[in-house]
Amino acid sequence: MDHVKVLHCADLHLGAELSSLGNLARERRQELLSTFIKITSICRNEQVDFLLIAGDLFEGSNIDINTVRTVKTTFASIPDTIVAISPGNHDYMAIDSPYADGDWSGNVHIFKSDKEMIDFEEKNVCLWGSAFRSTYVTRPLLESIHATEKNRINICVMHGDLVSNYQLSNYNPVSPLHIRYTGMDYIALGHIHKSSGVMNVGSTWYAYPGCPEGMGFDELDDKGILIGNVYKGSVDLEFRPVCSRRNIELKVDITSAKSDVEVADIIRYDMMKTYGDSYRDNLYKVILEGALDEDYVPDVSSIGARLKGDAYYLKVRDNTHVRLDLEALARETSLKGIFIRMMLEKIAGYDAKDNTEKAEKYRKAMYVGIKAFENEVPLNDY
Ligand SMILES: [Mn+2]
């Protein structure tokens, strides 16, 4: 065979608490499991040879027995796909880990030490893998991995932190220098939750697929897996979204709005316009921006309540500022007047030097300061 078909995923974090979602957490946890099952269905329907799972399949070793059982029976239902799992920093290999159980189906290979190779001669593949055996791995696991059968397709599955040469990491540092000397054709990485795109050092290709389901507002937009063929010295892999919902950060300009009803309408319109018919399926962090008249202060909980039926989950942050006659305020003989005067001078200074970034930073700081004078800055809001 001159190629094999692989599906590469990582960081499913099955069993994660997702406590920030409150009473939705339970349902969302179930959705993570459904997305896992969807991934295995792709393996069945598209005749995938190898399902490569590059760590953090589970959130930890203490996962409820039903989740573990579901994972085992689901793998058993795709006997024609070889499943290769390299434990990561969350689900590291230990005696109390589900990975130590003896009842995984025959198609499942769990890497349990620093370096292992399984020879699939009939598929012309040497499959390499390494396990985290504690939360931290400071020595580069890739350092000891070198292809022995150079004519075979060599694939490595590993959880680790992509770093520049000689940079350190507590999560198995993987550097281009290490990658170069492995002789691998593809290194399936996990740990970074954002898809990296497929990269290469010489004829060794490597990638992070990212997590298949975003678990917070630091994991935005479409999430998925990598699928395609691995050849000797090249790959043909594409990113495919598989997430059931998206986490979205939506900045909405509500300049001159006068009421919570109006703001809710603007947000809803923006959501529909940007995300189409299925806009209600998403999780949103809405950030309100723009200048408002002094007599209207948005009530984020009232706005959120008005949009209850428009999103799976939604929270609103108010980053608007009051439209003020700054020149008049700067003439006041008060601490506030002095503050505004000094900030305006700073901003004008940066504007004159064309340093828009600094000017914008000071402008923002000025508005936060003005709000603080009105006692309107809650703790931890900035
Ligand atoms: Mn990790």
- CA–centroid distance, 332 to ligand 1, in Å, is 54
Q: How far is CA 244 from the centre of its chain?
A: 14
- CA–centroid distance, 140 to ligand 1, in Å, is 15
- CA–centroid distance, 135 to ligand 1, in Å, is 9
Q: Are residues 64 and 154 in the same domain?
A: yes
Q: pLDDT tens, 229-271?
A: 999 999 999 999 999 999 999 999 999 999 999 999 999 999 9
Q: Tell me if 382 is assigned to some domain.
A: no
At which of 241, 270, 287 does a domain end? 241
Q: Tell me if 226 is assigned to some domain.
A: yes
For ligand 1, a single-atom ion, which residues have Cβ within 5 Å?
Answer: 56, 88-89, 191
- CA–centroid distance, 47 to ligand 1, in Å, is 28
Q: Tell me if 155 is assigned to some domain.
A: yes
Output the six-digit token pair for 50: 């190898």
- CA–centroid distance, 128 to ligand 1, in Å, is 19
Looking at residues 8-30, what average pLDDT do you find? 92
Q: What percent of the chain has pLDDT over 70?
A: 98
Give the pLDDT score at 328: 86
- CA–centroid distance, 90 to ligand 1, in Å, is 6
Q: Tell me if 93 is assigned to some domain.
A: yes
The tally of domains found in the chain comes to 2
Q: Are residues 259 and 338 in the same domain?
A: yes
Q: Tell me if 380 is assigned to some domain.
A: no
Q: Tell me if 378 is assigned to some domain.
A: no
Q: Are residues 121 and 261 in the same domain?
A: no
Statement: residue 374 has pLDDT above 80? no
Q: 226 and 7 in contact (C-beta within 8 Å)?
A: yes
What is the value of pTM for the model shown? 0.84
- CA–centroid distance, 132 to ligand 1, in Å, is 10
Q: Are residues 16 and 152 in the same domain?
A: yes
Q: How far is CA 111 from the centre of its chain?
A: 24
Burial label, 199 (beta-carbon count in 10 A; 0-12, 13-18, 19+): middle
Q: Are residues 307 and 346 in the same domain?
A: yes
Q: Are residues 232 and 271 in the same domain?
A: no
- CA–centroid distance, 10 to ligand 1, in Å, is 9
CATH classification of the domain holding 179: 3.60.21.10
Residue 289 CA to residue 256 CA, distance in Å, equals 10
Q: Are residues 131 and 77 in the same domain?
A: yes
- CA–centroid distance, 282 to ligand 1, in Å, is 25
At which of 200, 215, 241 does a domain end? 241
At which of 215, 241, 267 does a domain end? 241
Residue 216 CA to residue 116 CA, distance in Å, equals 34
From the list 88, 82, 188, the residue with the least C-alpha distance to 134 is 88
Q: Tell me if 379 is assigned to some domain.
A: no
Taking all residues of the chain, what is their mean pLDDT, rounded to a whole number?
Answer: 93
- CA–centroid distance, 162 to ligand 1, in Å, is 12
- CA–centroid distance, 56 to ligand 1, in Å, is 6
- CA–centroid distance, 134 to ligand 1, in Å, is 12
Q: Tell me if 264 is assigned to some domain.
A: yes
Strand 50-53 relative to strand 186-190: parallel, antiparallel, unpaired? unpaired
Q: Are residues 34 and 94 in the same domain?
A: yes
The band of 378, judged by pLDDT with boundaries at 50, 70 and 90, is: low
Domain that holds residue 30: 3-241
Per the model's pLDDT, the better-predicted residue between 294 and 302 turns out to be 302
Residue 250 CA to residue 247 CA, distance in Å, equals 10
Q: Are residues 222 and 349 in the same domain?
A: no
Q: Are residues 208 and 269 in the same domain?
A: no
Q: Are residues 150 and 215 in the same domain?
A: yes
Q: Are residues 12 and 149 in the same domain?
A: yes
Output the six-digit token pair for 149: 């059968």
